[in-house]
Amino acid sequence: MSLAVRWKHTPAKLVVTVEGEIDTRTVARLKESVTAAREAGEDLDLVVDLTKVTFLNSAGLAALVEIASQCHRDGQQLRLVCTTRVVLNPIRLTGLDRVFTIVDAP
């Protein structure tokens, strides 16, 4: 399966919705799409909605850490919407649930 990334601006935040598999083949698309969304969204807080992600491996986790680092550097708050085991398990197993702000809805 491929990866689809969409984003929309609201007055208070930028919501990036990710659908599909985040792995070695698709991670570059994820990073490029989030970067483009952040550039278009100025200084809005970023919400990455991962509820439709069907697979997340270590390359995907590394991309999320990189995105979090960029947001922190730019003074932008990042929240991840994670409600499925497919996404939550790797985040919890690596201890990243103590690093990311995880929410149930955008």
CB 56, CB 87: distance < 8 Å? yes
pTM for the model stands at 0.93
**pLDDT, tens only, 25-42:** 999 999 999 999 988 866
Q: For residue 46, what is the domain's CATH number?
A: 3.30.750.24
Number of structural domains in the chain: 1
> What is the extent of the structural domain holding 67?
3-103
pLDDT of residue 12: 86
78 phi and psi angles, rounded to 5 deg: -120, 130
d(CA 60, CA 28): 9
Is the separation of the CB atoms in 100 and 69 below 8 Å? no
